[in-house]
Structure 1
Amino acid sequence: MKGQGIISSFRHLRVGLLAIAGLIVLSGCSSTTSRVQTWDGNAENADQVAVLSAPGAIKVGEVNGKSMTSFLIDDLNVEYELLPGKNQIVFTYKTIWSKAQNVQDGESKVHVVETPRQVVTIDAEPGAVYRFDAPKPEDRQEALALVENFSVDLVNASGQTVATSSPWTAASTQVAATKTPVPESPSYTAPAASDAGTTLEQLKALWGKASEEEKRKFLGWAFD
């Protein structure tokens, strides 16, 4: 009887662990979307961002020349925050297909079908939502056929096409001004001679504003 009680307890424990594992898997599947900011630093119009949704098959490499994070999960949907105005997106389209035949040790168990780099430019409107209208091939042969002459539309919330991708070329890197660079450190701009007198007088004025540490470093540089 004691042995049966132990076996029964073990079975209950096993069922409990399986239930917990199932909940973990379900919670993981329910959070397959990630949000990415596509610019550095602070932006005055960051509260007016547009959002571009990319399915797992779309691998965004760059936005306005800035490299994007690579995610290890192939089916992860990613939402990219875009500042209003022109935005250039460089990406590839990648699908994975399991091999039907047996594979040897060390051989990949899947076929990877991936396009060369594509580029698309979108004139993002404040607060708008866009997505890639990516194709969904039924099998590997259909995916290979798509790669030969690939392009994909970007559509808005109403399903209207707002831009279409094309093959990336070196000339594609010449885009509109980079979006909101990191704020630069303030630098000193010397006033015009007519306003501040001679260069010596300007240096005297700067010396008077310098800290003791700054003066020490300057003298060390000047007499080195």
Structure 2
Amino acid sequence: MRISRVTAVCKSLLAGMLVLALAGCASSISRVETWDGEPANAAEAATLKAPGEIQVSRVNGKSVTNFMMDDLALDFALLPGQNEVVFTYKTIWARSDVVENGESKVHVVESEPQVVRFDANPGAVYRFDFEKPATRAEAEQMIETFSAVIVSDSGQEVASSSDWDPRQSVAARTPVTGASAEGSGAAATGTALEQLKSVWATASEEEKRAFLRWAFE
């Protein structure tokens, strides 16, 4: 009995940590810096707004995917000048047929990785613009030729995306400083919450669902 109570308490604490982490993510990573170190022109950064359907994975060779949820609407801070943004388009649709045990209750429609390159003006605001399907059938049909455009805050189209070839990807915009490298190492061996975030970022969708069922059961 005592062991069961301890297990229940541990699950409650872990679930609480997860909720706090999710809440923290929603409030603290709404604007994501896409560089390493402290570049001099960071104060003049432009902003690229990405809705939940657009999942940015790399900016100028730097990975920006370490988030606990992959359907967040995020703002990405871009250094002025040429930028390369790699992303995928992903939508989730509820299933209408009978779901067997262990099967997913949703259909996922996801594009191949796309890349868009454009010059960002200091302090400017950009956003993704793309066709929004009304049904899963429409989404599956458009995914074969999917492309998004980048639109400025004045409504001008500045670039359109194409299929991403990793062999043509750019290197990271700025080097990692000594302090940043030390910070990354500390995170790898940091608190339980930091380790939980790290593990969550690499987990599959099915593993995330299984963990949530365990944590809140």
TM-score bracket relative to the smaller structure = 0.5 to 0.7
Tell me the CA shift for residue 158 of structure 1: 1.1
Aligned to 2:41: 45
Structure 1 unpaired stretches of 5+: 1-26, 186-224
Change in 2 beyond 3 A, CA 1:32/1:152: farther
Alignment of 1:140-155 (within 5 A): 140-155=136-151
CA distance, structure 1, for counterparts of residue 86 and residue 30 of structure 2? 18
| Greater Rg by CA | 1
SS class of match (2:131): coil
* 2:46–2:77 contact (8 Å) kept in structure 1: yes
Change in 2 beyond 3 A, CA 1:142/1:31: farther
| Greater helix fraction, Structure 1 or Structure 2 | 2
Aligned to 1:182: 176
Identity %: 55
Aligned to 2:106: 110
* 2:151–2:157 contact (8 Å) kept in structure 1: yes
The aligned length equals 156
Which of 73, 77, 84 aligns to 2:73? It is 77
Alignment TM-score, normalising by the size of structure 1: 0.64
Cα displacement string for residues 95-142 of structure 1 (whole angstroms, at most 9, x for unaligned residues): 000000120000000000000000001111100000001322101011
Calculate the aligned-residue CA RMSD, in Å: 2.3
SS class of match (2:143): helix
Tell me the CA shift for residue 72 of structure 1: 3.9
SS class of match (2:82): strand
CA distance, structure 1, for counterparts of residue 42 and residue 175 of structure 2? 13
Which of 50, 54, 58 aligns to 1:58? It is 54
* 2:61–2:173 contact (8 Å) kept in structure 1: no
Aligned pair 1:162/2:185, yes or no?
no
Tell me the CA shift for residue 73 of structure 1: 3.3
CA distance, structure 1, for counterparts of residue 89 and residue 28 of structure 2? 18
One-letter amino acid of the structure 2 residue matched with residue 95 of structure 1: T
Alignment TM-score, normalising by the size of structure 2: 0.66
Aligned to 2:127: 131
Cα displacement string for residues 12-49 of structure 1 (whole angstroms, at most 9, x for unaligned residues): xxxxxxxxxxxxxxx99x96971100001101011100
Structure 2 unpaired stretches of 5+: 1-22, 180-217
CA distance, structure 2, for counterparts of residue 86 and residue 103 of structure 1? 47
* 2:55–2:71 contact (8 Å) kept in structure 1: no
Aligned to 1:5: none
Aligned pair 1:97/2:87, yes or no?
no
SS class of match (1:89): strand
Tell me the CA shift for residue 179 of structure 1: 1.9
Tell me the CA shift for residue 71 of structure 1: 3.3
Tell me the CA shift for residue 172 of structure 1: 2.7
Could you tell which deviates more after superposition, 129-138 or 86-95?
A: 129-138
Aligned to 1:35: 31
Structure of greater relative contact order (alpha carbons < 8 Å, 6+ residues apart): 2
CA distance, structure 2, for counterparts of residue 103 and residue 56 of structure 1? 26
* 1:37–1:82 contact (8 Å) kept in structure 2: yes
